A and B are shown apart, each in its own frame.
Chain A
Amino acid sequence: MANVADTAPASGETRSATGWSRLRGLGAATEIDFRLFGMLVALALILLAFNILTDGRFFRPANMVTLIVQAIPVAILATGMVLVIVSRNIDLSVGSLTGIIAMTYAMLMTDWLPNMLGMGADFPMRWLIALAIGIGLGAAVGAIQGFIIAYIGVPSFVVTLGALLSIRGAIWYFSNGAAVTGLDPTFQLIGGGARGSIGEMATWAIGVAGCVAVVAALWNSRRQRQRFGFPVRPMWAEITLGVLGCAAMLGLAAFANGNYLPPGLAAEYAREHGITEPPGGLKVPAGFPLPILLLIGVAVVMAWIATRRRFGRYVYAYGGNPDAAELAGINTRLTILKTFVIMGILAALSAAVVSARLNGATLDIGNSYELYVIAAAVVGGTSFAGGIGTIPGAVLGAFVMQALAYGLSFMGVNSPGQNVVAGIVLILAVAFDTWNRRRATK
C-alpha cells in the first residue's frame, strides 16, 4: 500500500495551534493522513521494541514475512469489517464463515469433486473450481444475512450471532468432525511458504510497478485538480511524497528478497538451474509470498471501492447519517446488503489462505476470528459510532495486533500473556483515538 494520504472522508483533521502545528503544516502541504502515519510509527516502535528485547534477532526479512503472512487472514477480513462497522452494523459470523468455507475447500478437493462427481483424484483446475465455489458460498451466505438485516430489519448483531453458532455447528457435518488434509499442490501456493513465493525478479518487478503506480496516482491527482484550477500541493511536497512512496515500494521488495529459500529448496533450485552450490549453501531470494500479493490486491480494491465508488460513498454517508442517506434517495437497504456480500467474499479469500497454509481444514478454523477482525478494524481507527474508518487503517490494525502476538510468541511468551497484552493494546489504542478526536473537534 502507498503511504500517501488515504482519501477516505474520515480523518478528523482540523486546524489547531498546538506544538504539533509545524508538523501539521507539513502534513497539510503533503496531505498525509496523520492518523495512518501515527499507526505506522506505532507499528515501527513495536517492531523496534521486540528487536531490542531479542538482541536484534527479531527484525529480519524471514521473520517479518512470517508475521505478515500470519496477519493476512485477519487483515483481509478487516477490510470488509470496516465497511460493515462504518455502516453501523457488525458481523460476528466471519470466523464461522471462514471456517466453513475452509472446510468446503478441503472437502471439495479431497472428496466431493474426486469421489462424488467421479472426477478422479487428480484433475486440472480443481483448485480454481473449489475457489469459485467457495467464493460463491461466501457471497450467498453474506447475501442471506444481508437480506435479513437490511430488508427484514433484524439487528445485525442478532443475525450474525445466530450465524456464528449455526455455521460453526454445520462445519461438523461436512467431515463428521475430522480434520481433512491433503489439498491440491497449486492451491497450497495461496498460503505462501517458500514454494508459494514469487521469486527475486517478479518481486523487483512488483516493487517497480508499485513505484510507478504511486507516481502515476500523484500525477493523476495533480492533473485532476489542475483541470479545474484548484489549489495543488507545492511541487516539493509532491516530489517528497513520490520519493517516499517509491522508496517504500522498492524497500519492501528489497526486504522480501532478503528472505532466502530454505536450504533444501535452495539445493533443489541449484540442481534445476545447473548451479553448483557454494559452501554454506546457495542464497536464493524468495521474494513476496503469494498471500501478500493477495492482500495488496484486496486492500487496493477495497480502498478503491470505499473511496472511489458510489457504493463506498453511500456506505460512509449511511454511517454518518442514515436519515440523510435515505433522504438523498440512496437505496440504503441494498447498500447494507452489499456490505455483507463483500464480507462473505472476503471470508472465502481468507479461508483460502488459512486452509492453504494448513494444507487442510480442521473444525476450529476461524475460531474467534470475529474478535480479532473487529479488534483490527477498531485499532485501525474504525468507530462504532459509524461513518468513520479506513481500509489501510484496518490492515495496519491487523498488523499491529499480529506483531504483538508474533513478537511475544517469538520471545517465548505463552498465550495467556499474549492475550493480556493484546487486550490492553486494544483499549489503549481506542482510548488514545477517542481522546485525539475529542481534542481535534474542540
Chain B
Amino acid sequence: MRIQRLGAILTVVAIGLAACTGTGSSPSAGGGDGTDCTVAVSWNNFQQPRWAAADEPNIKDAVESAGGTYISADADLSSEQQLTDVSNLIGQGADVLILLAQDQNAVLPALQEAKDSGIPVIAYDRLIEDPDILYITFNNIGVGEAQAAAILEAVPSGNYVLIKGDPGDPNASTFLPQGWDDAGLKEKVDSGDITILNGPEGGSGDWPADYGTYTDAWDTQTAQENMEAIIDAANADDVTIDAILAENDSTALGVVAALESKSYGFPPLSGQDGDPANLNNVALGKQYVDVWKNANELGKAAGQVAIQLCQGTAIEDVEIDIDSSVAPLDGNSPTDFETPGGNTVKSLILQPTPLTAEDLDVVINAGWYAGKEEICNGVTEGDPGYEDCQ
C-alpha cells in the first residue's frame, strides 16, 4: 500500500506539473517571477493523512513551479508549538505565511508577529478572527447542505439518526447542522415528515443543539458504540432507521461498523472528507454519499495566492485558477465574508463535491490520494460503484 500511495503522490505531482505548464500563460498561476518568494506553511496536525497526501504537495507544487521556495513546520496539535513554529518560519525568511490554526484564538500572537514583520497571512481551511487575513476554505455550511440534500433526496421522509462530531468543534455543533437546515431538514422535521430518533427525551428541545449524538474527538469507536445503542433503542421501540446523517467520515465509519455488527442493512448514510475507507464503502453501497472537499484544489489555490501576495498583489486583486467544479460561486477573486466574531475578511470559499456511487469516477480521475485500487477494493458486480470501478 505504501508503494501504491507513493504512486498516487507521484501522480498528483505529475498532474500538478502538467496543469502548471498547461496554464503557464495564465496571469494567476506561475509565469511571474516568484524566484525570491519564500512561502511558509504552519500545519497544526500533519498526522491527518489528508494534509500530507493532498494539501501539501499541491501548495508546494504551485509555489515551486512559480520559482518560489516552500518551507513548513508541524505543531502536532499544540497551540504553543505553533507560536514557536511561526517565529521560526519568519526567522527563516518567510515572505508569505499560510496558517492552519490549531486554535483560532491561541494563534493570534503568531498572527501579530507576522503582521509586525509585514508578512501577509492566509488562514488556510480554518478561520482566524482578524480583518487583515485572507481566508481560503471550503464552504463548511455547504458541506452540511450537500450531505442533507443527497440524503433527503434519497429518503424524503422517515426516521433519521444524526451523528455529530466533537461537541467542542463549531463545525460539528453549528456549521454542518446549519447546512442541513439550508437543505430543508428542519422544515421536514417541523412538518412531521421526518422524525429524529436520537432527539431529546420527550420530543421537544432546542434545534439543533438537543438533536443528534455527539462523538468525542470524532472517534470511530465512540461513534460505533453510540450507534449500536441507538439501533438497540430503535429496535426496542419497534421503529426502523431510514437514514443517517453523519457529519464526517470517521464517524460514518463507526456507523457502518455498528450497522454491520447488528446486521441491520445499510440505510442511506452521509459523510465527508473522501477518506479511502469511506469511498470504498460508497462503492460497496454501505455509505450513500461522501461529501468530498477536493483538497488538491484548495492547496493549489493557496499556493497560487501566496505567490501573488509575495509579488505585491493586493489581497482583493489576487486571482485563482482551479477546477471549475470546486471554484467559488462568487468568482475567482476574494469576496467579503462576515465572520462569527464580527470581522469582515477577504475570503475564497471553494465548493464541496458530493460523491455518490455514480460520481466515483470524479474522484478516481482527480488524482486524489485515495486511488482507484483502494476505492474499488472488493467491489463486485451488483455493488453500486461497480460501473465506475471498471
Residues of A within 8 A of B (CB): 54, 57-58, 60, 62-63, 66, 69-70, 107, 110-111, 115, 172, 175-182, 191-195, 261-262, 264-265, 354, 357-360, 362-365, 367, 405-406, 409-412, 414-416, 419
A414 touches B167 (CB 8 A): yes
Chain A residue nearest in CB terms to B260: A359
Contact assessment for A412 and B199 in the assembled complex, using a CB-CB cutoff below 8 Å: yes
Contact with B224, one of A63, A357, A414 (Cβ below 8 angstroms): A357
Q: Does B206 contact A (CB under 8 A)?
A: no
Q: A194-B263, A412-B200 are in contact. Are A177 and B232 (CB under 8 A)?
A: no
Measured in the bound complex, the distance between the Cα atoms of B220 and A156 in whole Å is 29
Chain B residues contacting A115 (CB-CB under 8 Å) are 1
Nearest chain A CB to B21 CB, angstrom units: 28
Q: Does B27 contact A (CB under 8 A)?
A: no
A360 to B278 alpha-carbon distance, docked (Å): 12
- Of residues 195 to 220 in B, which have CB atoms within 8 Å of A's CB atoms? 198-201, 213-217, 219-220
Most-contacted residue by chain B among A57, A175, A181 (CB, 10 A):
A181
Query: Once the chains bind, are B213 and A412 in contact (CB under 8 Å)?
Result: yes
Contact A367 B217 (CB under 8 A): yes
- CB of A59, distance to nearest CB on chain B (Å): 10
- Bound complex: CA A407 to CA B314 (Å): 57
Binding site for A on B (CB under 8 A): 1-2, 5, 47-49, 52-53, 167, 198-201, 213-217, 219-222, 224-226, 228-230, 232-233, 235-237, 249-250, 253-254, 256-257, 260-265, 275-278, 280-281, 370, 377-378
- The answer for the CA separation of A362 and B256 in the assembled complex, in Å, is 13
Cross-chain pairs A/B with CB under 8 angstroms, 20 sampled: A54-B236, A58-B236, A66-B229, A70-B228, A110-B377, A177-B49, A179-B253, A181-B253, A182-B378, A262-B263, A362-B221, A364-B221, A406-B225, A406-B229, A412-B198, A412-B213, A412-B233, A414-B213, A415-B215, A415-B226
CA distance A232 to B254 in the complex (A): 53
Chain B residues lying within 8 Å of A411, measured Cβ to Cβ, are 201, 233
In chain B, what residue has the closest Cβ to A192?
B261
- Given A358-B221, A416-B167; A261-B236 close (CB under 8 Å): no
> A366's closest neighbor in chain B, by CB?
B221
- B231 nearest CB neighbor, chain A only: A66
Task: Give the distance in Å from the alpha carbon of A419 to the alpha carbon of B257 in the complex.
Answer: 23
Closest to B201 in A: A412
Q: State how many angstroms separate the Cβ of B197 from the closest Cβ of chain A.
A: 9
CB distance from B135 to the nearest CB of A (A): 26
CA–CA, A193 and B231, complex, Å: 13
B222 engages A193 (CB within 8 Å): no
Q: Are A262 and B264 in contact (CB under 8 A)?
A: yes
Beyond A179-B253, A367-B221, 18 additional contacts (C-beta under 8 Å) are: A62-B232, A179-B249, A179-B275, A180-B277, A181-B277, A181-B280, A182-B377, A192-B261, A193-B261, A194-B261, A194-B262, A262-B263, A359-B256, A409-B229, A410-B229, A412-B213, A415-B222, A415-B226
Task: Provide the residues of chain A in CB contact with B2, threshold 8 Å.
Answer: 176
A-chain residues with CB within 8 Å of residue B377 when the two chains form the complex = 110, 182
Out of A66, A194, A365, name the residue touching B221 (CB < 8 Å).
Answer: A365
Closest Cβ–Cβ distance, residue B45 to chain A (whole Å): 10
Q: Contacts of A178 on B, CB cut-off 8 Å?
A: 49, 275-277, 370
Using CB atoms, name the residue of chain B closest to A416: B167
Judging by beta carbons under 8 Å apart, are B220 and A179 in contact? yes
Q: Top 7 closest A-B pairs, CB basis? A: A177-B49, A193-B261, A57-B236, A409-B229, A194-B263, A181-B277, A179-B277
CA distance A178 to B374 in the complex (A): 11
Q: Are B213 and A409 in contact (CB under 8 A)?
A: yes
CB distance from A167 to the nearest CB of B (A): 14
Complex: how many Å from CA A115 to CA B201?
Answer: 50
Pairwise interchain contact B262-A63, C-beta atoms closer than 8 A: no
Q: Are A176 and B49 in contact (CB under 8 A)?
A: yes
Q: Could you say which residues of chain A place their CB within 8 Å of the CB of B216?
A: 415, 419
Known A410-B233, A414-B167: A357·B277 in contact at CB below 8 Å:
no
List, in ascending order, chain A residues with CB within 8 A of B236's CB.
54, 57-58, 60, 62-63
Chain B residues near A358 (CB, 8 Å)?
220-221, 224, 253-254, 257
**Docked pose: A130 CA to B233 CA in angstroms:** 35
Question: Residues of A contacting B225 with CB < 8 Å?
Answer: 70, 405-406, 409
Tell me the bound Cα distance from A63 to B199 in angstroms.
19
- Bound-state CA distance A354–B221 (Å) is 8
Q: Output the nearest chain A residue to B281 by Cβ-Cβ distance.
A: A181
Distance of B288 from chain A, by nearest CB (Å): 17
B263–A177 contact, CB under 8 A?
Answer: no
A111-B1, A176-B52, A416-B167 are contacts. A265–B263 as well, Cβ < 8 Å?
yes
A172–chain B nearest beta-carbon distance, Å? 5
Residues of A within 8 A of B232 (CB): 60, 62-63, 66, 410
Which single residue of chain B is at the shortest CB-CB distance from A262?
Answer: B263
A179 near B167 (CB under 8 angstroms)? no
CB pair A193 B199 closer than 8 Å: no
